[in-house]
Structure 1
Amino acid sequence: MTETYNANWHDEPTDYAQTGKLPRIRTAPPESALGSLNITAASADPELLDLPWHIALEEWPTESLAALPRGISRHIVRFAHLGGSVIAVKETSEHVARHEYHMLRKLQRLDVPCVEPVAVITGRTTPDGTELDPVLVTRHLKFSMPYRALFSQTLRRDTLTRLIDAQALLLVRLHLIGFYWGDVSLSNTLFRRDAGAFAAYLVDAETGELYPELSSGQREYDLEIARVNIAGELMDLAEGGLIEEKVDPLATSELIMDSYRRLWTELTARESFELGERWRVNARIRRLNDLGFDVEEYVISTVADGSRIQLQPKVVDAGHHSRRLLRLTGIDAQENQARRLLNDMDAYRADNNNLDVDEEISAHLWVSEVFEPIVRSVPRELGGKLEPAEVVHEVLEHRWYMSERQDRNVPMAEAVQSYLDSELRHRRDEAEIMLTADSRTIGLDGDSSFPDS
């Protein structure tokens, strides 16, 4: 793959395919700093030069920072504004920063849920010439939260279970592509709401490695790391009285083992059935689709006497519903959100006698008559509460419960207004969770003024 860079920024070859290396961008330092910065990035962003790289990250001035909740990290991490987005800056060694940068880029090419790497910056010095640690820069994932930002006084058991299920699904997806994480934990994961569940995104890849395929031993070791780390995280919360008393940290940490193994078995196990039960081939594929996976290829074989059939899914890709929704409507959503919106799209098609209409035309009508009107109904000041697909999902759920309670078919406009007044106005902004100047940082002391999820 060829990487393209602004010619005014680089002094090394730009063809990644030919050199095997990303070009190192030479930039001028801030006037107050000595020496020069070396910035390795996928694309040149001059606004990176406006940040105070000549100051140790722990001492960055408030005006340079974006007040977002941070998870627990062994490194110094700060958030900063970069253009119209927010970046996370982590001080570490040059070797670790470059390894993690390249690993995140590989995971992005493989369509794995993870944060976007922006740059590696080395050559940092203070005005008096003291060397500072290199940094890794990643882009903050909009509408995402560390797990410690999902509670106020106590973390409910059902919310915790949904987080662990999302973590297990992420780990399965990573293992399917041959990625060994090496440091699985809730702290190294970000979570986004996904139609009543959560979608998990990898944040920290510094211990990760990609292999053609993982052995069962590698997978089990990663799973054991997850169990131990999650148990430790939950015990820490329990000591602070931040999870329900009925939650057993050790027993709860075992949930990831069960969730992971159930999903892994469904995705990869060989299934055997009688020759007359060939319908089970399609049933297995439908179950995989319901889990959000596509079967790209499968192997069917018969035993010697021809009386039984064995089915083995060979390659599975995640994002079945997301891809279908994107193909039909252009809407990019999480997997559960996509499943919910597709179900409503199918119901809309049936309710409007559009079953004979081309599916793509019907989908376009649904977008223009259902999805877009709901999104446009959200006032500007509420636009940062939830991402659009989650808002539409919640409106559809809200309308269903209203109709059930009132024993009538509640009009969409009435349901939308009710949802805005009774639900959305009271939600926190999840596009950017801003903290007051005197608030403590979530993730370091566990304090939060946010309502329970």
Structure 2
Amino acid sequence: MALQISATNPEHPALLLELPWHLPLEEWPEHHLVPLPRGISRHVVRYARAGSEVVAVKELAERPALREYEMLRGLDRLSIPAVDPLAVVTGRTDADGGPLESVLITRHLGGSMPYRSMFETTMRPATMHRLMDALAVLLVRLHLAGFAWGDCSLSNTLFRRDAGAYAAYLVDAETGELHPRLSDGQREYDLDLARVNISGELLDLEAAGALHPSVDPIEFGREICARHRSLWEELTRTSVYPAGKHHYIERRIRRLNDLGFDVAEMQIAHSSNGDTVTFVPKVVDAGHHQRQLLRLTGLDAEENQARRLLNDLESWMATQDDYAPGGPSASSPARTGDGYDQAARPEVLAHRWVRDVFRPTVRAVPPELRGSMDPAEIYHELLEHRWYLSERAQHDIGLDSAVEDYVRTVLPKVRESLLPPPKGPVEPA
């Protein structure tokens, strides 16, 4: 059988041909290898240089190599944090024509570390908790996408710093299965496997003297399950609130935002008890809110400002009769019977929000009190002020009242703090 390289990019096969495929991976010459820390694996894994790329090469049988390659490609299409699959090499033979195992090639994740390298010195418990949080988030994202890992462990995960916290990435998808949706039993089984694997790995570190003495490996395994269940509940439950209680809705959205998730859908429903608001969450990528706000409204803002403005836009859109649930990507018809038979495009609703809500609110702030704040920042500040006043009053005070109070009580103090200090009397020479 001839050597065959199946790659995602047509440029990769030419670069990969330079590597010594006629040798078992354990025997590759040093000049092809890159000395990066590796985790524990049941297979032989090496880092190598292919042109300007650093790649991870894993030696395994042909069928699992092809399966894992397709699985990683599927996760990539779902925007799941995982290593990037580049190619599968099959039909390898040695110099005498004897068969060699196939290899799976993935791109090295820059700045990442296997967990054992992070434990070379005893890690503080607070740092360990951040690692567990990152792994819990990864596992939840996989389960939301319908992926049953089948072998979740620290060994199958890479970690890298993410704005003071840690982000976790799947490395090994060999045992994974992708479904349209996971049952509760599938998810709980995957979670139980993670508990056993993580506790076992921590016990191994404890035996090697690399685990902080205050950390109980068994309890830590249970804790990651508890974190997963808490996050899963926060992300998957559908919340229903009275329509007038905007600060309750705001509180739930803030909890989701703090976890790194956004609101995917919001809709108004009518019942005998009054109007209710229902929304469900979604996962977003870095910079998502900036791009979304700019596309819908033309407003350019920082990420946190953009997220806050989009939340307000989504809440306002849900009150419009020609709004279709599903947010900016919705294409379904709006509710009928309210004077509309077809949904307005999200861009049309966003333009209406800018014209009828955003601009009048910003203009209510006197220009001489705005200072150097741009319109997006002013509106963000007003929304924050409304949130704090509503929490204190335990009911939504409305945007107009928030603007009035902000102009009267907050802006004068801000302006005063920006003025230069008064000059004192000149001392005689």
Specify the TM-score bucket, using the shorter chain as the normaliser: 0.5 to 0.7
Alignment of 1:415-430 (within 5 A): none
- Worse-superposed segment, 209-218 or 233-242: 209-218
Taking structure 1 as reference, are residues 340 and 55 closer, same or farther at Cα in structure 2, changes over 3 Å only? farther
Offset of residue 306 of structure 1: 0.9
Offset of residue 290 of structure 1: 2.5
Contact 2:264 2:279 in 1 (8 A): no
* Corresponding position of 1:138: 106
CA distance in 2, matches of 1:327, 1:38: 42
Aligned to 1:323, which of 288, 299, 321? Answer: 288
Aligned to 1:86, which of 54, 59, 63? Answer: 54
Q: 2:134 is aligned with what amino acid? A: A
Q: 1:123 is aligned with what amino acid? A: G
Helix, strand or coil: the match of 1:86? Answer: strand
Offset of residue 59 of structure 1: 1.4
Taking structure 1 as reference, are residues 148 and 276 closer, same or farther at Cα in structure 2, changes over 3 Å only? same
Alignment of 1:44-59 (within 5 A): 44=10, 45=12, 46-59=14-27
* Corresponding position of 1:39: 5
- For residues 375-419 of structure 1, what are the alpha-carbon distances to aligned partners after superposition, in whole Å with 9 as ceiling and x for unaligned? xxxxxxxxxxxxxxxxxxxxxxxxxxxxxxxxxxxxxxxxxxxxx
Offset of residue 189 of structure 1: 0.7
CA distance in 2, matches of 1:300, 1:254: 39
Alignment of 1:132-211 (within 5 A): 132-211=100-179
Asked if 1:104 corresponds to 2:72, the answer is yes
Q: 1:239 is aligned with what amino acid? A: A
* Corresponding position of 2:230: 262
- For residues 231-268 of structure 1, what are the alpha-carbon distances to aligned partners after superposition, in whole Å with 9 as ceiling and x for unaligned? 01100000000011111000111121121111111111
CA distance in 2, matches of 1:80, 1:134: 16
Taking structure 1 as reference, are residues 201 and 130 closer, same or farther at Cα in structure 2, changes over 3 Å only? same
Contact 2:265 2:279 in 1 (8 A): no
CA distance in 2, matches of 1:149, 1:265: 33
How large is the RMSD of aligned CA atoms in angstroms?
A: 2.9
CA distance in 2, matches of 1:322, 1:255: 31
Q: 1:41 is aligned with what amino acid? A: A
CA distance in 1, matches of 2:31, 2:372: 55
Offset of residue 282 of structure 1: 3.1
Alignment of 1:195-234 (within 5 A): 195-234=163-202
* Corresponding position of 2:373: 355
Taking structure 1 as reference, are residues 300 and 168 closer, same or farther at Cα in structure 2, changes over 3 Å only? farther
CA distance in 2, matches of 1:354, 1:59: 63
CA distance in 1, matches of 2:192, 2:303: 32
Helix, strand or coil: the match of 1:154? Answer: coil
CA distance in 2, matches of 1:324, 1:301: 26
Alignment of 1:386-397 (within 5 A): none
CA distance in 2, matches of 1:78, 1:209: 25
CA distance in 1, matches of 2:24, 2:49: 17
CA distance in 2, matches of 1:340, 1:63: 49
- Structure number with bigger Rg: 2
Contact 2:62 2:90 in 1 (8 A): yes
Offset of residue 338 of structure 1: 6.5
* Corresponding position of 2:261: 293
Taking structure 1 as reference, are residues 356 and 322 closer, same or farther at Cα in structure 2, changes over 3 Å only? closer
CA distance in 1, matches of 2:266, 2:186: 24
CA distance in 2, matches of 1:80, 1:338: 37
Helix, strand or coil: the match of 1:254? Answer: helix
CA distance in 2, matches of 1:96, 1:340: 45
Aligned to 1:311, which of 272, 275, 278? Answer: 278
Contact 1:161 1:255 in 2 (8 A): no
CA distance in 1, matches of 2:306, 2:208: 39
Corresponding pairs, count: 310
Taking structure 1 as reference, are residues 358 and 267 closer, same or farther at Cα in structure 2, changes over 3 Å only? closer
Contact 2:8 2:87 in 1 (8 A): yes
CA distance in 2, matches of 1:340, 1:55: 54
Q: Structure 2: which 5+ residue stretches go unaligned? A: 295-301, 309-368, 378-429
- For residues 195-249 of structure 1, what are the alpha-carbon distances to aligned partners after superposition, in whole Å with 9 as ceiling and x for unaligned? 2210011111111111111111111111111111100110000000001111100
* Corresponding position of 2:351: none
Contact 1:269 1:312 in 2 (8 A): no
CA distance in 2, matches of 1:246, 1:225: 24
Taking structure 1 as reference, are residues 111 and 283 closer, same or farther at Cα in structure 2, changes over 3 Å only? same
